[in-house]
Structure 1
Amino acid sequence: MSSEGSFERVRVLILEDNNHMSTILRKVLQGFGIRQIYETRDAADAFEAMRNHNPDLALVDYMLGDVDGLEFTQLVRTASDSPNKYLPIVMVSGHTDRSRVMEAIAAGVNEYLAKPVRPIDVYNRLVALIERPRRFVKAPTYFGPDRRRRQDPRYTGPWRRATDKQNMSKDDDVDFG
């Protein structure tokens, strides 16, 4: 789907424990023509919604109750019973300091969206997920979308960092493509 296309067939899961914020996200998505929106308040309900509705993407709050957005993302990516390890996840948070963003990226989110949300920013994240999806990487300590935003033309090997190669055994299953 291109950005000129319609979003009407896109299914979105919202994992947000604040009713007001969930309503704002729903209204913004509806403004883009999205009609299949599944709102949940906690990780267990979100997993159930993933099983029942097979969403195309999820908007996940960083700060939740028992299981926060980071833990939820890690469960989606690594749990043996995950309904979809490849689900595109946009972390939504009022915490925009570099350390929080880096934690979210390390957990396996595809995009990060700062609160208060602006419709144009939500739209841009949706378009990025659809038009520029990132390949998934499986490494010893990470599974998720490739964290590199650009390709470095000077990089010539399969290992991103020299320490990655040192920490790997020859039997580790790694897919860098």
Structure 2
Amino acid sequence: MTYQFKNARILIVDDMAPMLALTASILKIFGFVNIETATDADEAFTKFCKFDPDLVITDWQMEPYDGLELVRKMRTSQMSPNRFVPVIMMTGYSHRIRVEASRDAGVTEFLVKPFKAKDLYTRIEQLIEKPRQFVEADEFFGPDRRRRKAGDYKGPRRRGLDKNDSSDPNAKKILRDLKQQTRDTSKQK
């Protein structure tokens, strides 16, 4: 599906100027116009609070603190304008422990560098088509970390029911409501 991103606001955070420029260029090709960039987590949080982006794409390894700390701050700080903002974590390390740490910090999607433009588009598409509900617990606030419904799951529907799945009579209504909530949230900003 093709999307119109011209009204969406996006914040890209990376301490490597070439990667920051490359990511911004790819997003412009996708149709994003309102792009802010930051080269460290402090600058990123300041811009996050002022710019109130619809999406944040951040690198993991940065100084004075890393991308995980940035995500935790966006999710838990009283100053955060949108604790529910989708976050894509970019990193050159794909170890399972890093993926789990990202998930546990409140990251919505994970993208391993180097990546193809198609990979980034797919992650953005997932955020739109299959938004996750948020969970608030004593030790966690962020997107629901559960991706599978059953331990024996082997299929491509890692986020729930397909659009055409009729095994649950409420499935289509739930999906419609989630998509409408996403649209309403975007319009309010």
**TM-score of the two chains, using structure 2 as the length reference:** 0.77
1:17 is aligned to: 15
3-state secondary structure, aligned to 2:89: strand
Q: Could you tell me which of 96, 99, 102 is aligned with 2:100?
A: 102
Q: Identity across aligned pairs (percent)? A: 39
5+ residue gaps in structure 2? Answer: 153-189
Q: Could you tell me which of 23, 28, 31 is aligned with 1:30?
A: 28
2:24–2:35 CA contact under 8 A, matched in 1: yes
2:45–2:70 CA contact under 8 A, matched in 1: no
CA distance in 2, matches of 1:48, 1:153: 41
Runs of 4+ residues over 2 Å off in structure 1:
150-154
1:16–1:61 CA contact under 8 A, matched in 2: yes
1:1-177 mapped onto 2 (5 Å cutoff)? 3-152=1-150
Higher relative contact order (CA 8 A, sep 6+): 1
Cα shift readout 1:34-68 (whole Å, capped 9, x = no counterpart): 11110001222112212222110000101011110
1:14–1:59 CA contact under 8 A, matched in 2: yes
The count of aligned residue pairs is: 152
- CA RMSD in angstroms, aligned pairs only: 1.5
Cα shift readout 1:17-44 (whole Å, capped 9, x = no counterpart): 1001001100110110111110001222
3-state secondary structure, aligned to 1:103: helix
CA distance in 2, matches of 1:4, 1:33: 10
1:47–1:83 CA contact under 8 A, matched in 2: no
5+ residue gaps in structure 1? Answer: 155-177
1:159 is aligned to: none
